Amino acid sequence: MPAPSPHIGAQYGEIAKTVIMGGDPLRAKFMAESYLENPVLVNEVRGMLGYTGTYHGKRLSIMGHGMGMPSIGIYTYELYNFYDVDTIIRVGSAGSYSYDLHLGDLVLAQGACTDSNYGAQFNLPGTFAPIADFSLLRKAADACENLGVNYKVGNILSSDVFYPDTPTTEQWRKMKVLAVEMEAAALYMNAARAGKKAIVICTISDHLLTGEETTPEERRTTFTNMMEVALSLID
């Protein structure tokens, strides 16, 4: 029987109602092997690894989503609409725009500004403001408090450009945007359109003001605080 999706090889029913996603498929592999009970590989199309297992007896899938809004837009659309997923939790990395956020700190993306044209497809007579599901956001903030993790809740920027010809850091900082990444706005728009839930939890991997940064290996295997916050949201 063919899979419901052209980009995900899993059969219908092989993906749980809740999916934790990270940009790097090797982060998904690390999470699945570290936290899931009896993880089963359910997708490896285009190397975008996805696993389903249980976490404390609760069924959960963990999968990569690639880089940028076109990539996460495809995968999350298919998960929400073809696999009947209810909740997607993105765990990713972000660059800090704030002197109050340091390497390893967490950002809970209450909203996602963007320089992308992704939202134009909805033909809205204005500008849509993509936001997180509040029930997930509240639980994530509580989890950060319980874990004693330094975190901020607020606006982030989802940018289409990793290497901007004209940097805009100061313009976004003036509007109190905390950090920049490349996917949250598309995820939040897809969730809104599908009537589903989403939240983005990011670890600060580099600092746009101080030049501090982490290595790819550190981003893949040491950002466990955000993973544990995400796992605390599993019903």
Kindly state the DSSP code that residue 160 receives in the 8-state scheme. S
Please state the rounded mean pLDDT for residues 202-226: 89
Burial class (CB in 10 A: 0-12, 13-18, 19+), 163: exposed
Pairwise CA distance, residues 69 & 114, whole Å: 10
Tell me if 188 sits within 8 A of 112, measured CB to CB.
yes
DSSP for 31-91 reads: HHHHH-EEEEEEE-GGG--EEEEEETTEEEEEEE--SSHHHHHHHHHHHHHHS---EEEEE
Global pTM? 0.96
Q: List, by residue number, the catalytic residues.
A: 206
Tell me if 37 sits within 8 A of 60, measured CB to CB.
no
What's the chain's average pLDDT? 95
Burial class (CB in 10 A: 0-12, 13-18, 19+), 95: buried
Q: Is pLDDT above 80 for 2?
A: no
Task: Provide the pLDDT for residue 218.
Answer: 84
Tell me the one-letter amino acid at 152.
K
The 10s digit of each residue's pLDDT in 218-228 is 887 788 999 99
Angle at 179 between CA 98 and CA 124, to 5 degrees: 135
The 10s digit of each residue's pLDDT in 69-122 is 999 999 999 999 999 999 999 999 999 999 999 999 999 999 999 999 999 999
Task: Provide the pLDDT for residue 222.
Answer: 80
**Domains of the chain by start residue, with CATH:** 18-231 (3.40.50.1580)
Structure-block tokens of residue 60: 């959960």
Percent of the chain at pLDDT > 70 equals: 100
Tell me if 49 sits within 8 A of 25, measured CB to CB.
yes
